[in-house]
């Protein structure tokens, strides 16, 4: 029973992350596409990994075109799609980003998971928009730090790098 | 200092002792140099309760360097600004530089130390790569002007990032940039020079040419990126 509850907890967490308005999936896209692909991995009865938080769905590549989900066998890369980066643990919590790619260019980075304690949230508010802008304008995840920003979030950059690698950027 | 310090060490293995030593050194600097601690040596010197010659040798060296910097920047860097002793504009960068020396002395080759956005780099992050550091945009706290490549050197950014008015006017009508970045071999000096340019404004920085190893990156009153000719800086398209 406890196990079922924890699985449910994971599912709810997953759904919250995926439906979080902050994830702002590209316009005209049904977010259910993502959920439909994400669900099976969390409902197969596999025990959750020791470090929790549904890391098994993190390699997920999601099509966000308006094509039906059944087109997974299609080889053609859709014009607009997004890739989830790895969840990277930091001292304070897990960072995970989603990269939105349009015509081979990174156009948006969505923070899926970030440390949520009060101090981290304050730092995140300062640092994440900076890294996001720097990464999009340079089309790279190679920014190791930012001069003028109080803190550096290596975990954010690491998640971003994994997503970009996966997308072949 | 009340500043978060980040150590990004890329060596596969490194002695934890060196990190501990660097961290305790930074705590010592805070306890000794903080102007916010009434019992620090700097506070006691400021109140006239201690003479400089009785202070720790490192305090004497720091204050002597501050004197030199004050002279060489035509008083744009002034550790007695507003009359009170406050060497913070040099000390933070100097402390990080000391921490880097401890790590290097313990055989650690590839690392980056960032204290509140003032950064020292050593070695490379991985084979064939160089450390890349974004430079925050003085006009927009959520944006960067571009990036600098760091190779065994440092970058300091001095400024305020309050939302709203990012460029302050001086009384003379000139513009004071909301932030100034300096790249160069020593983070203490880079920190002091950034503080000095920030204080004096970008219209009056002839003295900066006496620091040929240090490069400036900031924004002019005309919202153009102003950088030294030799600055290892790559502008981002969105900054233009």
Q: Which of A34-43, A74-83, A148-157 is predicted least confidently?
A: A34-43
| Mean pLDDT, residues A156-168 | 88
Res B152 pLDDT > 90: yes
Question: With an 8 Å Cβ cutoff, are B236 and A138 in contact?
Answer: yes
Helix then strand then coil, in percent of chain A rounded to 5, is 45, 20, 35
B231 vs A contacts (CB less than 8 Å): none
Judged by DSSP in three states, B13 sits in coil
Residue whose structure tokens are 């002597």: B64
Q: Are residues B143 and A150, on separate chains, in Cβ contact within 8 Å?
A: no
Question: Is there a contact between A148 and B136 if contact means CB atoms under 8 Å apart?
Answer: yes
Closest CB to B117 among A129, A137, A148: A148
User: Cβ contacts (< 8 Å) between B132 and chain A: which residues?
Assistant: 142-144
Residues of A in contact with B133 (CB under 8 A): 143-147
Torsion of CA B83, B87, B90, B96, to 10 degrees: -160
pLDDT at B228: 87
DSSP characters for A4-16? HHHHHHHHHHHHH
ipTM of the complex: 0.74
In this predicted structure, what is the pLDDT of residue B124? 95
Confidence of residue B171 (pLDDT cuts 50, 70, 90): very low
Out of B114, B159, B239, the one facing A152 most closely (by C-beta) is: B114
pLDDT the model gives residue B167: 42
Task: Quickly state the pLDDT bin for B9 (edges 50, 70, 90).
Answer: very high
**Which of A119, A142, A143, A147 is the mutation pick for testing B, counting most B CBs within 10 A?**
A147
Where in the sequence is the domain holding B28, given as residue range(s)?
5-239
Asked whether the beta carbons of residue A137 and residue B236 sit closer than 8 angstroms, the reply is yes
Give the model's confidence band at A76: pLDDT under 50 very low, under 70 low, under 90 confident, else very high.
low
For residue B120, pLDDT over 90 is answered with: yes
pLDDT class of A34 with cuts at 50, 70, 90: very low
For the question of whether the overall pTM of this predicted structure is more than 0.95, the answer is: no
Q: How far is A110 from chain B (nearest CA, A)?
A: 15
pLDDT at A88: 87
Phi-psi region of B209 (alpha: psi -120 to 50; beta: other; left: phi over 0): alpha
Supply the range of the domain harboring residue A137. 2-166
Average pLDDT over residues B43-58: 96
Mean pLDDT of B218-232: 81
In total, how many domains does chain B have? 1
The average confidence (pLDDT) of chain A is: 63
Going by pLDDT thresholds of 50, 70 and 90, the confidence category of residue A95 is confident
User: B29-57: buried (b, 16+ CB within 10 Å) or exposed (e) per residue?
Assistant: bbebbbeeeeebbbbbbbeeeeeeeebee
Q: What CATH number is given to the structural domain containing B55?
A: 3.10.520.10
Predicted confidence at residue A55, as pLDDT, reads 36
Which of B4, B9, B127, B134 best tests the A interface by mutation, with the highest count of A CBs <10 A? B134
Cα–Cα distance for residue pair A161/B172, rounded to 1 Å: 47
- A98 or B168, greater pLDDT: A98
Q: How far apart are CA B136 and CA B142, in angstroms?
A: 8
A130 CB neighbours in chain B (<8 A) are 134, 136, 141-144
Closest in A142, A149, A154 to B8, CB measured: A154
Angle at the Cα of A137 from the Cα atoms of A135 and A139, rounded to 5 degrees:
60
Chain B contact set for A150 (CB, 8 A)? 3-4, 116-117
Cα atoms in the Cβ-side hemisphere of radius 13 Å centred on A93:
15
Quote the pLDDT of residue A150. Answer: 66
Looking at the partner chain, which of A143, A150, A154 has a beta carbon nearest the beta carbon of B134?
A143
| Each residue's pLDDT tens digit, A5-27 | 333 333 333 323 333 333 333 22
How many domains does one find in chain A? 1
pLDDT at A119: 78
Contacts of B179 in chain A (CB under 8 A): 148
Predicted local confidence at residue A169, as pLDDT:
84
Q: What is the DSSP string of A67-124?
A: S-GGGGG--SPPSEEEEEPPPEE-SSSEEEEEEEEETTEEEEEEEEE---SHHHHHHH
Q: How far is B96 from chain A (nearest CA, A)?
A: 14
Q: Report the interhelical angle of B57-72 vs B88-105 (nearest 10°).
A: 120
For residue A40, the model assigns a pLDDT of 32
Residues of chain A positioned with their CB less than 8 A from the CB of B161: 148
* B186 Cβ under 8 Å from any chain A Cβ: no
Distance, in Å, from the CA atom of A123 to the CA atom of A130, rounded to the nearest integer, reads: 11
Contacts with B155 from chain A: Cβ below 8 Å: 147
Distance (Å) from the alpha carbon of A38 to chain B's nearest alpha carbon: 32
B143–A143 CB contact, under 8 Å: no
């Amino acid at each position: 029973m406890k196990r079922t509850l924890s699985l449910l907890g994971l599912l709810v967490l997953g759904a919250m992350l995926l439906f979080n308005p902050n994830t702002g999936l590209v316009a005209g896209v049904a977010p259910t596409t993502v959920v439909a692909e994400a669900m099976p991995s969390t409902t197969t009865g596999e025990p959750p990994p020791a470090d929790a938080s549904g890391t098994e769905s993190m390699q997920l590549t999601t099509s966000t075109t308006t094509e039906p989900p059944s087109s997974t066998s299609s080889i053609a890369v859709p014009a607009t799609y997004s890739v989830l980066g790895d969840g990277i643990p930091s001292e304070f919590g897990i960072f995970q980003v989603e990269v939105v790619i349009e015509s081979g260019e990174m156009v948006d980075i969505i923070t899926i998971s970030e440390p949520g304690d009060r101090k981290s949230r304050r730092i995140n508010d300062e640092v994440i928009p900076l890294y996001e802008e720097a990464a999009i304008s340079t089309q790279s995840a190679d920014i190791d730090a930012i001069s003028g920003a109080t803190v550096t979030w290596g975990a954010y950059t690491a998640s971003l790098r994994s997503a970009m690698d996966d997308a072949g950027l | 200092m009340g500043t978060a310090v980040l150590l990004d060490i890329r060596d596969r293995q490194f002695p934890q002792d060196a990190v501990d030593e660097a961290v305790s050194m930074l705590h010592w600097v805070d306890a000794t140099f903080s102007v916010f601690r009434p019992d620090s040596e700097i506070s006691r010197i400021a109140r006239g309760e201690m003479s400089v010659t009785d202070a720790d040798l490192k305090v004497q060296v720091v204050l002597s360097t501050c004197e030199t910097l004050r002279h060489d920047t035509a008083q744009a860097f002034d550790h007695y600004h507003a009359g009170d002793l406050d060497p913070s504009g040099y000390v933070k960068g100097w402390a990080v530089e000391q921490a880097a020396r401890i790590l290097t002395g313990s055989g650690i080759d590839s690392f980056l130390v960032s204290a509140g956005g003032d950064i020292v780099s050593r070695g490379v992050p991985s084979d064939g790569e160089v450390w890349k550091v974004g430079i925050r945009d003085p006009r927009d706290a959520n944006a960067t002007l571009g990036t600098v490549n760091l190779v065994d050197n440092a970058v300091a950014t001095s400024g305020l990032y309050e939302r709203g008015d990012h460029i302050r006017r001086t009384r003379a009508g000139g513009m004071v940039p909301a932030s100034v970045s300096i790249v160069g071999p020593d983070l203490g000096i880079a920190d002091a020079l950034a503080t000095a340019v920030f204080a004096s404004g970008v219209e009056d920085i002839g003295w900066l040419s006496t620091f040929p190893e240090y490069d400036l990156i900031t924004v002019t009153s005309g919202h153009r990126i102003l950088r030294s000719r030799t600055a290892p800086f790559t502008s981002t398209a969105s900054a233009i």
